[in-house]
């Protein structure tokens, strides 16, 4: 039976950590090819070392009504969305145009930490009670696998999705930085099969899309491409949704533009902290791996016509009837 067990052969030895047996991993479908093996657990794929933290998070986390979750499938613009959310929510405390704003010296992943890759990675029940309200968290975990308290509480979720053609290109480059040997063709095939960390891509996106229609006060569904095209409009939408709308005075004073400038790729990617700093994941995530081009449509230089057709066909089929266009 699949379960969590403390056995002699374990993947994690720290006492504070949930330990999972080899049997558990062996019971799950496994896919190699990315930098680490991924395992399918309850319909979604996870890097093996994140599975214990995903499960601890599911079991232990207690949401508060004021919590804000930034959710994406990897490489959809997570670090950008985290920066924007942090800047919006904290603007009374930290003026976006100030040259001492925390985002100028700290990577957004440290200000809005991931549940599975940071908070629960080395501690099965981190003490989050002392965090200031509203607590800002990030996750790549699909809605169906989030803790019940997130679903039951009034906490809010901002979801950012990105065109799958750009996601796979961004993902592949990201993995190259880890020295992954995967060829682009192979990565593309895994993506199409749905076997990417936190994938399948389409199921992930659709869960949040549907929820945003059913519960618009709970989930705000945004697209990277729309954010790029009309950043001003979407930032205002975000602020409104999060309960921190911009006053007309703030708009007149240029606060919206100040936040966009602060969080722009141009600014973020050239900050010293993002060029030479390291995010507090497990020590090996240099911050610069989160900044590559920050463009829409880079897939045009990477996907063959055949790949484009295949991905568009799958996307069309998967999203059929949902009203979502990607």
Q: Which residues are catalytic?
A: 140
Q: Decide if residue 25 touches ligand PAP (CB under 6 A).
A: no
Distances from the Cα of 234 to the Cαs of 61, 81, 84, 156, 222, in angstroms?
Answer: 30, 11, 11, 16, 8
User: Which residue of 12, 94, 173, 281 would you call a contact of ligand PAP, by CB under 6 A?
Assistant: 173
Rank residues 219 and 227 by Cβ distance to ligand PAP and give the closer one.
227
- Other CB atoms within 10 Å distance of the CB of residue 261: 14
Rank residues 25 and 173 by Cβ distance to ligand PAP and give the closer one.
173
Ramachandran area for residue 254 (φ above 0: left; ψ -120 to 50: alpha; else beta): left
CA-to-CA distance for 237 and 231, rounded, in angstroms? 10
Q: Decide if residue 80 touches ligand PAP (CB under 6 A).
A: yes
Q: Decide if residue 292 touches ligand PAP (CB under 6 A).
A: yes
248-277 residues in contact with ligand PAP (CB under 6 A) are: 263-265, 268
Rank residues 79 and 158 by Cβ distance to ligand PAP and give the closer one.
79
Q: How far is the CB of 159 from ligand PAP (least distance, A)?
A: 12
Q: Decide if residue 293 touches ligand PAP (CB under 6 A).
A: yes
Q: Nearest 5°: phi and psi at 266? A: -55, -45
Strands (E), 30-161: 30-31, 38-41, 44-47, 68-72, 136-139, 156-161
Place of tokens 């006492």: 15
- Other CB atoms within 10 Å distance of the CB of residue 154: 11
User: Which residue of 47, 74, 245, 277 would you call a contact of ligand PAP, by CB under 6 A?
Assistant: 74
Q: Decide if residue 36 touches ligand PAP (CB under 6 A).
A: no
Rank residues 47 and 125 by Cβ distance to ligand PAP and give the closer one.
47
Task: Catalog residues that contact ligand PAP under the rule CB under 6 A.
Answer: 72, 74-80, 166, 170, 173, 263-265, 268, 290-294, 298
């Amino acid at each position: 039976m699949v379960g969590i067990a403390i056995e002699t052969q374990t993947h994690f030895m720290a006492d504070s950590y949930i330990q999972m047996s080899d049997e558990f991993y062996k019971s799950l479908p496994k896919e190699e090819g990315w930098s680490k093996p991924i395992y399918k657990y309850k319909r979604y794929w996870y890097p093996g070392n994140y599975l214990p933290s995903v499960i601890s998070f599911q079991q232990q986390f207690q949401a508060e009504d004021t919590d804000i979750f930034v959710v994406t499938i990897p490489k959809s613009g997570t670090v950008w969305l985290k920066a924007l959310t942090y800047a919006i929510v904290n603007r009374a405390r930290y003026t976006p145009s100030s040259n001492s704003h925390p985002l100028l010296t700290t990577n957004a992943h440290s200000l809005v930490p991931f549940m599975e890759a940071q908070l629960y990675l080395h501690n099965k029940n981190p003490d989050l009670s002392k965090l200031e309200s509203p607590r800002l968290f990030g996750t790549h975990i699909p809605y169906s696998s989030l803790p019940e308290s997130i679903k039951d509480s009034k906490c809010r979720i901002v979801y950012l999705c990105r065109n799958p053609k750009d996601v796979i290109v961004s993902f592949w480059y990201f993995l190259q930085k880890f020295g992954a040997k995967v060829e682009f063709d192979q990565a593309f095939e895994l993506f199409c099969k749905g076997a990417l960390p936190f994938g399948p891509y389409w199921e992930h996106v659709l869960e949040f899309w549907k929820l945003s229609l059913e519960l618009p006060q709970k989930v705000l569904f945004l697209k990277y491409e729309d954010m790029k095209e009309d950043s001003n409009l979407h930032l205002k939408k975000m602020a409104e949704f999060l309960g921190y709308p911009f006053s007309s005075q703030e708009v007149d004073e240029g606060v919206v533009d100040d936040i966009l400038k602060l969080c722009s790729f141009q600014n973020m990617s050239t900050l010293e902290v993002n060029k030479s700093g390291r995010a507090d994941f497990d020590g090996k995530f240099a911050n610069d791996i989160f900044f590559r081009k920050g463009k829409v449509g880079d897939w045009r230089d990477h996907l063959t016509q055949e790949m484009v057709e295949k991905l568009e066909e799958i996307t069309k089929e998967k999203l059929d009837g949902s009203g979502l266009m990607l």
